Chain A
């Protein structure tokens, strides 16, 4: 059985700009990250809403990591602060549903930083392995 089937699935939403460019750089530089990570690119994290992310958990995701632009560097100006507001609401709902904070995080990657992308994703996955299976 391959690792990707036994490892829990982790969904990483990246914005199209900083975070996705980090992902592309990681690929170009040959940096690896766990096979359990399934990146999903959206134009901006502000496009996401709590229902969509809860749906990932409903379908069995072990964790969801949202990666956007660094503060002040949103491609659209205000997208990442809107995403932060959305995240607050999402986190409150997720906590009610028993999702632990280490299973759901919001973070950012600077454009072109492949190593940062790979590290953040790996650290997120590592922390999740510590969460006891429910």
Chain B
């Protein structure tokens, strides 16, 4: 039964086309730091597995699903999809990864799958922010209010991103709807193989979103955007805020004060995996940064070669994750930038957490910011009022 499911996953995601070339392993950030992990070897173990023992293999949970390997695979093996399905099979065999933070995050996600839950999730909505009961745009906030609580000690900004997003949309003349019964999009559960809970979350969110009658959903989290776009059947346009802002720059330009000083700030951009490799949104955030009058200094690995922030789905965060984060922060510092800008709250949390290392602290110092808050703080007083 389980071996059948593994075979099925191999067929569906082209793992049987693997040539054993090892190109994937050579570009995998986990393999760089932990030689016991190799996507090639995992594919091989699955293909040779006759009894289902591979399902208890720890390596199944190590992959960041960052998608770097897929870029170089000559046989078009869909490794991240393969690993996602493998996790779902493993979960049915009562295996799971090590959830970081005592599974706090997964627990609130599962609690939100209860149709009866009555959340109090809109406390961040201050009086100056304009939302509407009816609008062609819904702002999907995601778990930002929750991350704000859990990661306040890292200095990460959570609700500031949500507030900034509404403020910018207001400046553009958009008064979005926000939903009091919105739930986690389920991305992390889905990629950890918990397809059952994901299905429940997706159903509830789809009902609420469709009931709004809106045409478009805007998110500030790339993982929400990708999930709503790809794994839901919403029938609505889904855009990440960087796409919206880049498309509306003509109007936005009138509302922001671009950097005018003689020495503009230099920034470098961390491409979130879902925004970049998964959705192909590389240029829009960069264009926005340049439009703001900032100077852009790219890291060695950027764009499609960018490197993940080191942890995915709040699972298996440990020494390897920390090494990847430290490497990445050093790479960002090497650009000489004043700011490391990203567009995903999770990248920000992971980097800020790594920066709290008491030994390495000085060598990792660089301010990490979300692009939304960077735009929002440059809005003119009069904008949108």
Enumerate chain A interface residues (CB-CB to B < 8 A).
49-52, 54-55, 57-58, 89, 92-93, 95-98, 134
Contact = CB atoms under 8 A, between A and B. Distances in A.
Given A89-B150, A92-B149, A54 B108 contact: yes
Contacts of A54: 104, 107-108, 111
B102 interface: yes
B102 A50 contact: yes
A97 B119 CA distance: 5
Contacts of A97: 108, 111-112, 117, 119
B278 interface: no
B119 A57 contact: no
Contact of B149 (A57, A89, A98, A134): A89
A87 B103 CA distance: 16
Contacts of B152: 89
Contacts of A52: 102
Contacts of A58: 107, 110-111
Interface of B: 101-105, 107-108, 110-112, 116-121, 123, 145-146, 149-150, 152
B146 to A, nearest CB: 6
Contacts of B105: 51
Interface secondary structure of A, over-half rule: helix
A51 B102 contact: yes
A98 B119 contact: yes
A49 to B, nearest CB: 5
B121 A96 contact: yes
Contacts of A51: 101-105, 107
A83 to B, nearest CB: 15
Given A49-B102, A51-B102, A93 B108 contact: yes
Contacts of A49: 101-102, 104
Contacts of A50: 102, 104, 150
A98 to B, nearest CB: 4
B105, B108, B116, B119 — most chain A CB neighbours (10 Å): B108
A11 B105 CA distance: 21
A133 B116 CA distance: 11
